[in-house]
Amino acid sequence: MRPVDPAMNVRDFNPTRIDPQLATRRRTQVAGLVLLLVAPATALMADLHWHTGFDLWKVAHLALFVVLFALIAFGAVQASIGFWLRRRGGDEFDIGRTIDPEDRSTIYATTAVVMPICNEDVRRVFEGLRTIYGSVEANGQLANCEFFILSDSTDPNRWVEEEAAWLSLVQKLDAHGRIFYRKRRVGINKKAGNIADFCRRWGSRYRYMVVLDADSIMSGEAIARLVRLMERNPRVGLIQAVPALVNGATILGRVQQFASRLYGGIFSTGLNYWQLGEANYWGHNAIIRVAPFIRHCSLPELPGGGPFGGRILSHDYVEAALMRRAGWQVWLATDVPGNFEECPANLVDFAKRDRRWLQGNLQHTRLIVAGGMHMVNRMHFLLGILSYVASPLWFAFLMLSCVIAYREVGAAATSGAGSTHALPWSLGAQSVGLFVGTLVLLFLPKALALLDLRTRPGDVVKFGGWRNVVSGVVAETVTFTLIAPVLMLFHTKFVILTLCRQTVSWGAQRRGGAGASAWREAVEAHAGQTLFGIVLAIVVVQISPALAWWMSPLLAGILLSIPLSYVTGDEEIGEAVRRRGIFTTPEESAPPVVLLRMASAMKEPPAGQPVMPELADNAGVLQAVLDPYVNAAHVSLLRAKAEAPPATEVRLAELRQRLVMEGPEALDRRELLAVLGDVGSMVALHEEIWSAPAAHLAPWWQRALQYYQLVAPPPQTAFTRAA
């Protein structure tokens, strides 16, 4: 078969004219290859059970094996197809081939770059936006781009800090009328509702919107490339770009970005092979055609309560399905340089993220059979569900393995068991063959990724050379082997609690390096898992030492979960690993300009005088009340309301009095939000704090005034003018 020319004429491929039979043929090929792998493995496992006679335990065990092995086989097939296509020069049906990669023409389509946030690190968010804005400006595409920070923050201090950071950013960049900030009063339906609110209010002004996460970084050229792809393909409603993971400072973060960068190319190419114009949406680092999104992608509320009813939590899969149902194509852009995101730094944060996503994916069980959905979108729903349900299935498979081994202790397995259907190999040979076959499928993508890298000598250098690549693959394999059973227990717990309509409570997220708090967090998160691992190890050894040997990697991960969580989540240890060159990625060894600018900005000390430690927890309230500029801007951003009921006015007056006399610590989060959200209260507080004698103020406000007068002169209020 002839190689595909990477510089093929863009007219040679029109995604709106893909023969439906081509898509069907590709998907049939993938399904057929998976079946070819699953069928013999199923036969081997069935015959292993046949040796000692089937019962309900073994039937359930075999059923779980088929599902789990099919998932492994599907991943291996996808990677193999991706490797084969990349060896040929790429997939001729790739949305990226519809434009000239060297096109640098000016884009004229109005585009909104939107970043929904909720209680994020304020400095990281606005430095990231400043980097993106600067890159778009340097690329010459600023005239038709506007930027939106869409806040759902529920922390009153974060809210004010976001406003102050926005004001500062607009001034520094002279970006008045170009960068906007909006804080919703009520965060209905989380991120999906946040985007929907933007579309209702301002969506008609824009042809496209580029949706980012708080940790996304995208270059101006990447944004321009996505817009050109949409302009070239008028029947495409959404293009999901594949972001590279960057800025990992811990071992876990570095492992994720190394694995994603090394293996991601063949997987994404294989994914595009069978998805074509029915790709998925991941909720960020994507471009959306706004008009059809507004018209067709409004999310329904599912009947009933949780966990399967109510508002749709995992909105992205559903929005892609609704876009496709309306006749618009959804594509995966596998190669968009300058497209990045960050990843969780430690196991607890990783688990928190999965906990948020899990219920939304379980809701999709009701949507698999919804009317009008494309078959591939139903497949996306199913795979999303299995990505989390696979963990309790794996857990059940392991527990059933223990039960079956216990029932057969002391009983000699007889070959054939009186049946002519038994395979002609010994029990031991079949067991080893099945084990080796599973390992081959697990490690095949890694081997193919290394072969793929071998064809790109320049990238080998960027990975730090073959020595670093191989050592990174070995270390990554060991790390994920130990982490996998820990995540299995987390996911199993989350699924059970979700089905029981219960929530999981967590302590505050760890920020940064080592210390007693990091150890304490690891102990609190993994103590139950460690205890379970001890009990399981004792039981398995009692059942069969051979079974314990086979399960030793799993047992090791669970028993070592506390030190594993600490070590993989510590930034100092991660820095030591980085200095040795392990897990080096091209974005580290040859960082793009956009990442260099972001790193440089984050290294700069924060502007302004550091807040006193005793004032730091309520620094946002301090700014909103004392700083005349921030106070005026905050008030101007509040929505004007009709006259409040008398009871509300009385309640707000009581809260203001407590705030003045006792300080911000006297009010809880809801009470502070109520005061900050009221125009009259913020105007009155500003005047009163600056005008009242010190004896009438809480000690907190007295210290706040002392601090503020060190960094800025007091405003000219009516009281000071009279004095």
Query: Which tokens belong to 269?
Result: 């190419």
Q: How confident is residue 676, by pLDDT bands cut at 50, 70 and 90?
A: very high
CA dihedral 36→38→44→46, nearest 10 degrees, is: -130
Structure confidence at residue 268 (pLDDT): 95
Per-residue pLDDT tens over the stretch 16-29: 677 788 889 999 99
Q: Is the pLDDT of residue 723 over 80?
A: no
pLDDT confidence tier of residue 252, bands split at 50, 70 and 90: very high
Choose between 514 and 175: higher pLDDT: 175
> Does the structure show a pLDDT above 50 at 2?
no
Position 410 scores a pLDDT of 53
Which H helix or E strand runs over 146?
A: strand 145-151
Instruction: Identify the pLDDT of residue 305.
Output: 72
User: Is residue 422 very low, low, confident or very high in pLDDT (cuts 50, 70, 90)?
Assistant: low
More confident residue, 192 or 723: 192
- The pLDDT assigned to 303 comes to 80
What pLDDT does 528 receive? 92
Quote the pLDDT of residue 68. Answer: 94
CA atoms of 210 and 203, how far apart (whole Å): 12
Q: How far is CA 371 from CA 199, 238, 314, 367, 714, in A?
A: 26, 21, 19, 8, 64
CA neighbor of 124 nearest in space, from 599, 705, 640: 599
Q: Does residue 388 contact residue 491 with C-beta atoms inside 8 Å?
A: yes
- Give the number of other CB atoms < 10 A from CB of residue 437: 17
Q: Tell me: the pLDDT tens digits for 482-504?
A: 999 999 999 999 988 888 877 54
pTM: 0.88
Q: What pLDDT digit, counting tens, does each position of 362-406 carry?
A: 888 888 888 888 899 999 999 999 988 999 999 999 999 888 888
* Per-residue model confidence (pLDDT) at position 41: 92
Closest CA to 437 of 14, 23, 39: 39
Distance (Å, whole) CA 543 – CA 545 = 7
Q: Give counts: helices (H), strands (E), the chain.
A: 28, 12
Whole-number Å distance between alpha carbons of 689 and 700: 11
Percent of the chain, pLDDT > 90? 55
At residue 508, the pLDDT reads: 39
Do 6 and 94 meet the contact criterion of CB atoms below 8 Å apart?
no
Closest CA to 329 of 378, 292, 285, 384: 292
> What residues pair up with 672 in beta bridges, in sequence order?
none
What Cα–Cα distance (Å) separates residue 561 from each residue in 383, 525, 531?
27, 9, 10
Tens-place pLDDT, residues 497-539: 888 877 544 433 443 444 456 788 889 889 999 999 999 999 9
Q: In terms of Cα–Cα distance, which of 264, 226, 227 is closest to 245?
A: 264
Q: Which helix (H) or strand (E) holds 148?
A: strand 145-151
Half-sphere exposure (CA, 13 Å, Cβ side) for 223? 37
Please determine, for residue 413, whether its predicted confidence score (pLDDT) is greater than 60.
no
pLDDT at 323: 94
Q: What is the pLDDT of residue 420?
A: 42
Among the residue ranges 165-169, 300-304, 565-569, the one predicted with the least confidence is: 300-304
Q: Within 13 Å of residue 488, how many CA atoms lie on the same side as its CB? A: 22
* DSSP sequence for 253-265: HHHHHHHHHHHHH
Question: So what's the pLDDT on residue 480?
Answer: 93
Tens digit of pLDDT for each residue in 444-490?
999 999 999 999 988 999 999 999 999 999 999 999 999 999 999 99
Q: Burial letters for 34-51: b for 16+ Cβ neighbours within 10 Å, e otherwise?
A: beebbeebbebbbbbbbb
DSSP state of 47: H
What pLDDT score was predicted for residue 424?
A: 62
Longest dimension (CA), the chain: 106
Q: What is the pLDDT of residue 427?
A: 62
DSSP letter, residue 435: H
Residue 417 reports pLDDT greater than 70: no
Split at pLDDT 50, 70, 90, the class of 313 is confident
Q: Residue 588: is its pLDDT beyond 80?
A: yes
Interval 260-290: pLDDT, tens? 999 999 999 999 999 998 999 999 999 999 9
Residue 721 is predicted with a pLDDT of 36
The pair of structure tokens assigned to 201 is 């209010």
Residue 376 · residue 597 · CB < 8 Å: no
CA–CA separation, 222 and 243 (whole Å): 11
- pLDDT at residue 419 in the model: 45
Minimal CA–CA distance to 379: which of 312, 320, 333, 308? 320
Mean of all residue pLDDT scores within the chain: 86
The tens digit of pLDDT for each residue in 131-160 reads 999 999 998 889 999 999 999 999 999 999
702 membership: H or E segment, kind and range: helix 699-711
pLDDT at 273: 94
Higher pLDDT, residue 694 or 384: 384
Tokens of 376: 């591939």
How far is it, in rounded angstroms, from Cα 629 to Cα 697?
22
What value does the mean pLDDT take over residues 544-556?
87
Cα–Cα distances in angstroms (integers) from residue 1 to residues 25, 33, 274, 276, 448, in the given order: 17, 20, 19, 21, 20
Whether residue 223 contacts residue 319, with contact meaning beta carbons closer than 8 Å, is answered with no
Q: What Rg do the C-alpha atoms of the chain give, in angstroms?
A: 29
Instruction: Taking residues 569-596, report their average pLDDT.
Output: 91
List pLDDT tens digits, range 37-96: 999 999 888 888 877 777 888 899 999 999 999 999 999 999 999 999 999 988 889 998
pLDDT for res 426: 62
